Structure 1
Amino acid sequence: MSFAIRMPPDVQSLSIGGHQVLLIDDFLEDPGALVQAACDSVFEPCPGAAEGKGYPGIRAAAPAAYSQELAALLDPLIKINYGIDESLPLRKTPCMFSLTTLAPEQLGPLQRLPHFDSSAPRYMAALLYLCDGRHGGTGFYRHKATGLQRIAADDKDRFAAAIRDELDRRPPPRRYFDAGDEHFEFLGMLPAKFNRLVVYAGALLHTACVNPQLSISDDPRQGRLTVNTFVDF
């Protein structure tokens, strides 16, 4: 199978809450090949899901050929757009297929809130949607009590203490987070679109906006199928 990236990529730079995010539509020449690879894969529960933490679903390793194509693109793409020193080496996690499978009533308290992936300053998320706009997107938020949108290393303890206090006073309802609430201001969303790649800083507060009537499925052709990758420099 070929997992070639369509060249040249049509890179769009957007601002959400004053922070830059990147978007590339029609990313792969043949996205159907990657969907088929997902159908042929063996998915397993995400670590921590049983304890109500982490990604609320199942994952499987994406093909190495896709991972190699993506890494070759992300290195210059991120360095150019985010002003990262060209001499810094790219470090990348494995590319993982992800399917949302937990019903809202199964979510743990932390799975019902926006989160950040890492407080490292150059840690970036690259998310490929292999599902359409009916499956929501990726929402971004500001935490009202602390004013934080991006969690730097020096912010982690203050943010965690504020979240613990809010959870102790009133746990969030059993639902997938989306439009904001009394604690988090909704700043904007990158909508899902089939064959769309989005890139954003892992330190930004964000969450998967999920359509529970449609997206809770372990079928790669029917569910909220994405490919998740993280890089650092």
Structure 2
Amino acid sequence: MFNPNPRIEIVPIAGRHVCHVIDDALLDPDALVALAAAHADAFVETRHNAYPGPELRMPDGFSAQLDAFFTRHLRRAFDVRRTDRMYSRLAITATPPERLAPSQSICHVDRLSVEPQHRIVASVLYLFRDVRLGGTTFYAPKHPPEVILPMIADAGNLDAEAFRARYGIATGYMTASNDWFEKILTVPARYNRMIFYEGTLFHSGEIAHPELLSRDPRAGRLSLNGFFTCRRNLAPA
């Protein structure tokens, strides 16, 4: 299902970090969109993460294909020797901006803390043709962890009014720098484009036109998201 001969573009993010961009990632992306549409009623909004819309966990067999693609083409680039665990999901960004929780109104990381032996890698495959629905933007914190981490904790605990009063961050999709984070790179969306990046980087969907969002998998901002917990290569003696 995945392109056996992908062309991988390396896009610098900041400092030592990069984003790996792959166009034409699937041999038949329309089939995955059709699958999402056929199972639209099975998409559900979950409480275990801050994703602003419904999700559909993919079968282990499909996730194994994604992991095999990662292992063959990207593992060496992230300096890891194996995948300890991973999963994938289809997701549709659909929450109206005025209904976002504080944790959805700021950029995020896929894992705040990582064991020294592990590296977190994430992937996004864009499955929509209207590029106005937005790609992915990366941010750099403007403050040290001892300042940023309490703010992130409050984003998960305070209501929108209290969070805005304390931090000056309004409810809505984040698309620009603010007092807390600097916008450093946007990877534009393109149908059947997939990106891979380190999951400890702050990032967010670039939702500049929320009026276009839809829960319909054929019309909305449908993506395939992969999350990999990888074992780092052994340090040289």
TM-score, normalised on structure 1? Answer: 0.84
**Which residue is 1:149 aligned to?**
none
**Which residue is 2:27 aligned to?**
29
Residue 145 (structure 1) aligned with residue 143 (structure 2): yes
**Which residue is 2:63 aligned to?**
67
**Which residue is 1:231 aligned to?**
228
**Which residue is 1:217 aligned to?**
214
**Which residues in structure 2 correspond to 1:9-88 (within 5 Å)?**
9-18=6-15, 19-41=17-39, 42-47=42-47, 54-84=50-80, 86=81, 88=82
CA distance in 1, matches of 2:105, 2:219: 23
Deviations 1:15-52 (A, max 9, x none): 1122111110001111000000001111111225xxxx
CA pair 40-64 structure 1, distance change in 2 beyond 3 A? farther
Supply the RMSD in Å over aligned alpha carbons. 2.0
- What is the CA-CA distance between 1:139 and the residue it aligns to? 0.7
**Which residue is 1:115 aligned to?**
108
- Structure 2: 5+ residue runs without aligned partners? 156-162, 231-237
CA distance in 2, matches of 1:21, 1:196: 12
The one of 152, 161, 186 equivalent to 2:150 is 161
The one of 150, 171, 186 equivalent to 2:183 is 186
Residue 130 (structure 1) aligned with residue 124 (structure 2): no
- What is the CA-CA distance between 1:206 and the residue it aligns to? 0.6
Residue 100 (structure 1) aligned with residue 93 (structure 2): yes
CA distance in 2, matches of 1:62, 1:217: 21
- Structure 1: 5+ residue runs without aligned partners? 147-154
CA distance in 1, matches of 2:178, 2:21: 26
CA distance in 2, matches of 1:165, 1:100: 23
CA distance in 1, matches of 2:20, 2:121: 11
CA distance in 1, matches of 2:61, 2:191: 20
Is 1:46–1:56's contact at 8 Å kept on the other side of the alignment?
A: no
CA pair 25-163 structure 1, distance change in 2 beyond 3 A? same
CA pair 90-12 structure 1, distance change in 2 beyond 3 A? farther
Residue-pair matches, total:
213
Is 2:83–2:228's contact at 8 Å kept on the other side of the alignment?
A: no
TM-score, normalised on structure 2? Answer: 0.83
CA distance in 1, matches of 2:150, 2:79: 32
- What is the CA-CA distance between 1:71 and the residue it aligns to? 1.1
Is 1:138–1:189's contact at 8 Å kept on the other side of the alignment?
A: yes
SS in 1 for 2:103: helix
CA distance in 1, matches of 2:214, 2:154: 33
**Which residue is 1:208 aligned to?**
205
CA pair 13-90 structure 1, distance change in 2 beyond 3 A? farther
- What is the CA-CA distance between 1:158 and the residue it aligns to? 4.8
- What is the CA-CA distance between 1:224 and the residue it aligns to? 0.3
**Which residue is 1:150 aligned to?**
none
Is 2:127–2:191's contact at 8 Å kept on the other side of the alignment?
A: yes
The one of 138, 157, 176 equivalent to 2:173 is 176
